[in-house]
Each structure stands twice: as C-alpha cells, then as structure tokens.
Amino acid sequence: MSLIIPQKYRNTLVPETTELAIKLLKNSFQEKLTKVLSLRRVTAPLFVLSGTGVNDDLNGVERSVKFPIKCMGDRQAEVVHSLAKWKRMKLGFYDIPPGYGLYTDMNAIRSDEELDNLHSLYVDQWDWEKSIRTEDRTIDYLKKTVRQIYSILKEIEYIVYDVFPHITPSLPDDITFIHSQELLEMFPSLTPREREEKISKHYRAVFVIGIGGVLSNGEKHDGRAPDYDDWSTPNSDGYLGLNGDILLWNDILNCTFELSSMGVRVDKEALLRQLDLCGCPERVELEFHKALINGELPQSIGGGIGQSRLCMFFLKKAHVGEVQASIWPEEQIKICEQNNIHLL
C-alpha cells in the first residue's frame, strides 16, 4: 500500500480536540470490551528474552528489535511484536477459568513496516485472551465472539456521533462472515488484497475466516505464524481454519481497513501439525511450546485490536499519524501537510 491522499480532505477535528476524542474512544472501548468478553486488565511487557519462543513472529519474516542486557551477560532481549503467546501463558499462571480472560495495552516496534496511511513503526493495540473449554474450539464460538466485538464497535460509533454529531455512523447493522477459500472461488483472478477490497466494499464489515492455511490454488490468503492461531483444523462450514480478520470499509481512503486479527488458539495437535507444515518442528523445544504440549496451558481464544486504527477509523482520519506520535519519512510529512493531513 502506498500513501493515499483523499481528494478535498478536511479534518473532522482540530488536533487539540482530536486528543480529547482519542481519550474518549480508548476509555470507552476498553471499558465495554472488559464487560462484553468478561476480561480483566493485566500489565504487559514491552520486551521478552530472545530464544524462548514467547514472542509472536507474525508472518515469520519480520525482524524484531533486539538489544543486549548488560547485567545478564549481554543476553539478548527483543521488543514484542504482539503478545499472542505471552497472554496464553498468563491465563495459565493466573488459573483463569473458561469464560473469563484478560486484556492489556500492547506497545510494539515493527521496524520492517512499509510506512503509509495505515502502517506505523509504532503499534499500539488491545491484546486480549480468554480461556475456553475444549468443546468451544468451534467456528460457531469464533463467530459469536466476533459478533460481540462488532457490537462494541457499533456502540463506539454512536458514542462519537453523540459528542461530535458531524461525524456520522457508517457501519452496517451486522458483520458478514466469509472464508478465504470462498473469496478465492468468487474472485479467482484477483490477489488476496484485491479480493478483500471487493468483499469489504460490498458488505462494509466482513470477517474473513481461515488466514494462514494453503488454499486450493496452492497459495495462502495471508501469512500466520504456526504457533498461536489455529488455521489448519477443519471447521463445521467445511473449510480449514478457526481464525480470521475483521475488515471494515474506509470511506475516507476508499480502501479495506483491517482492525483486528483473532482466532481460536492451537491445541497440541494443531500446534504439531502447523509446525510441521511450516518446516519448524524444532520449536517444540521452546518454553511456550513445551508448556502447551505438556497440557500446562488452557485452551483459549484471543486477538489484537488496533488502538490507533480504531481512533483513526471512527474519527474519520486519513492517516494513522493523525492519532499517534511516530516517525515518518520527511517526504511523507511534507505531502501530508500540503493536503491538510496534520501528523502528530
């Protein structure tokens, strides 16, 4: 994705009012998330030790930011990419029963990001995880949870409208579910991103199921690490995968807007299968993987919800830099200023 400059873009809020609106959105969303999903807040690390398998390696190719720890013999630590595995370990540590969970503020640095309207070096999201029963590892439970989160998004939209009535609601009443294989069959000549554009523009709020597994054309819709989301277990809809992405249609940028990735997490069988499929069976010797294989971690569902992205979407901003402070290329800053896009 390259930089998008909307025609005749005008700020819905001045920077000072934007800061107040960000606070309103973040406070309101996490309060509702806590209640709807029965979560409690915990404190999260900014970095973890390298070589433990605790950090999320996303698509498996992104480099983590690393640094030596002087008082530990220069042992390497790395800034988290997300907390997908750490949260599940914390569920087990606190012995949180099925039906309840935790959430935290996750802050990360992703130095390999291509910087544009939606992507920043700085990532801030609500990472959440919830203990479930073995019998809850189903596509129906996944869809139920997605609908719960979508109901919060609808409420947030009207909270913004109540305070800033010139920012009008745009989300549909319901979110549509579709599998990545169905998308391929609908639009076989398009790339995965182009398929997402087509379907999200049509329905405006979509959950694409099955991210990480190989489709009938021999390709993946998108990459996923093998050791957190379950993307290889058959579900009752006749497809593989118990995970997916929440996609919204962004009218300001006229493009697909990914707000959240989430899913039922791997059990022992799915973990071993996916490690083998991805050619990294040696990970079974890592701390997290050993704990899961030995039955020391609960079954769970979880995901991440972008904080700045949520604010950007509901405040109708054209660039994530309008709702978060980060570093941007000088040329990008200049172009944005020329088009009334004021980065913080």
Task: Find the catalytic residue in 105, 113, 237, 258.
Answer: 258
Structure tokens at 64: 């983590």
Task: Find the catalytic residue in 110, 137, 224, 309.
Answer: 110
How many Cβ atoms sit within 10 Å of the Cβ of residue 141?
A: 16
Residue type, 163: V
Q: Report the number of secondary-structure helices (H) and strands (E) in the chain.
A: 9, 11
Contact yes or no for 88/300 (Cβ under 8 A): yes
- Distance between CA atoms of residues 101 and 90, nearest Å: 10
- Distance between CA atoms of residues 326 and 322, nearest Å: 10
Decide if 236 is catalytic. Answer: no
Decide if 258 is catalytic. Answer: yes
- Distance between CA atoms of residues 10 and 5, nearest Å: 11
How does DSSP classify residue 64? P
- Distance between CA atoms of residues 21 and 10, nearest Å: 17
Decide if 338 is catalytic. Answer: no
Task: Find the catalytic residue in 129, 222, 229, 245.
Answer: 245
Decide if 274 is catalytic. Answer: no
Decide if 245 is catalytic. Answer: yes
Structure tokens at 187: 């639009």
Decide if 56 is catalytic. Answer: yes
Q: Which of 112, 124, 132 is nearest to 61 (CA)?
A: 112
Q: Which residues of 306-329 are buried (b: 16+ CB within 10 A; e: fewer)?
A: bbbbbbbbbbbbbbbbbbbebebe
Enzyme catalytic residues? 56, 110, 125, 245, 258, 261
